[in-house]
Amino acid sequence: MPAQPVIGVLALQGDVREHLVSLAECDVIARPVRRPEELAEVDGIVLPGGESTTMSRLLETFELLEPLRKRLADGLPAYGSCAGMILLAGTVVDGRPDQQQLAAVDMVVRRNAFGRQVDSFESELTVTGVDGGPVHAVFIRAPWVESVGDGVEVLARVPDIPASGAAAGRIVAVRQGSVLATAFHPELTGDERVHRLFVETVRAA
């Protein structure tokens, strides 16, 4: 791998630009990925927030679904935020019947668990592997993780306090091998620490 890893951002739909900006702050080469040949050139991939069913359909339309599944199975490091977390899950509750899963993380995710877009939620999270104090997490129509398999490390939960409501204690960040997923959107807050955690994973791989 070169001194500067090349990290792609799946650029079919969602907050692609924000992830590219965050990655650019992490001393890597960040590129949008829309075609299989672009996917073949990256050392890691980010699946952005957006609308998971739309992204699933576009993965098929752009003939990226199977190449991405294969690269993930071969160990490509990946990071998914919000909709990206849903795509990476093995099982989705409240998803569409025709929704395609990448099944890179052994977890059950509940789609839109935090409610409608107007019901966005913010919280301060302690995230394992992220130094420098709590992460200010923004959730927008976000999923949460209902359960994880034995090989999955839980990195963060919503604080189990009354102010968290139904989200109290829910799992919102996980890692399995070189795949990282968060229910929240670090790309929207200007805090690159979660992206740096992913970059460290890419460098280690």
Of the residues 19, 185, 192, 195, which is catalytic?
A: 185
78 phi, psi to nearest 5 deg: -140, 150
pLDDT for the residue 117:
47
* Residue 34 is assigned to a ligand binding site: no
* 3-state SS, residue 131: coil
Whether residue 181 is contained in a domain is answered as yes
Q: What is the pLDDT of residue 116?
A: 58
Please identify which of the residues 19, 82, 192, 195 carries the catalytic annotation.
82
The phi and psi torsions of 170 (rounded to 5 degrees) equal -75, 145
Alpha-carbon distance of 192 to 23, in angstroms, equals 8
Q: Are 81 and 52 in contact (CB under 8 A)?
A: no
Strands 78-81 and 89-93: unpaired
Q: How far is CA 28 from CA 21, 59, 199, in A?
A: 11, 25, 8
- Structural domain range at position 162: 6-204
Q: Among 131, 142, 128, 100, which Cα is nearest to 15's?
A: 142
Whether residue 88 lies inside any domain: the answer is yes
Asked if residue 51 belongs to a known ligand binding site, the reply is: yes
Q: Does any domain span residue 185?
A: yes
Indicate which CATH number applies to the domain containing 91.
3.40.50.880
Six-digit token string for 125: 């999270």
Q: Residue 143's pLDDT is what?
A: 92
pLDDT > 90: what percent of the chain? Answer: 80
In a domain, 1, yes or no: no
Q: Is residue 65 part of a domain?
A: yes
Could you confirm whether 82 is annotated as catalytic? yes
With respect to residue 179, please indicate whether it lies within any of the assigned structural domains.
yes
Q: Compute φ and ψ for 37, nearest 5 degrees.
A: -70, -30
Instruction: Look at residue 127 and tell me whether its pLDDT is greater than 60.
Output: yes
Band of residue 141 on the pLDDT scale cut at 50, 70, 90: confident
What pLDDT, on a 0 to 100 scale, did the predictor assign at position 118? 43
Residues whose CB is less than 8 angstroms from the CB of residue 106 and which lie 6 or more positions away in sequence, other chains included? 90, 148, 149, 150, 151, 152, 176
In a domain, 98, yes or no: yes
- The reply, when asked if residue 203 is annotated as ligand binding, is no
Residue 107: other Cβ atoms inside 10 A: 24
Rounded CA gap, 150 and 164, in Å?
27
Q: Is 26 a catalytic residue?
A: no
Asked whether residue 140 is marked as a ligand-binding residue, the answer is yes
**Could you give the CA distance from residue 200 to residue 149 in angstroms, rounded to a whole number?**
23
Q: How many domains does the chain have?
A: 1
76 assigned to some structural domain: yes
> Which position among 18, 19, 26, 187 bears the catalytic label?
187
* Lowest-confidence region among 35-39, 51-55, 102-106, 146-150: 51-55
Q: What would the pLDDT profile of 157-198 be if each residue is shown by its tens digit? A: 999 989 888 888 999 999 999 999 999 999 999 899 999 999
- pTM score of the predicted model: 0.94
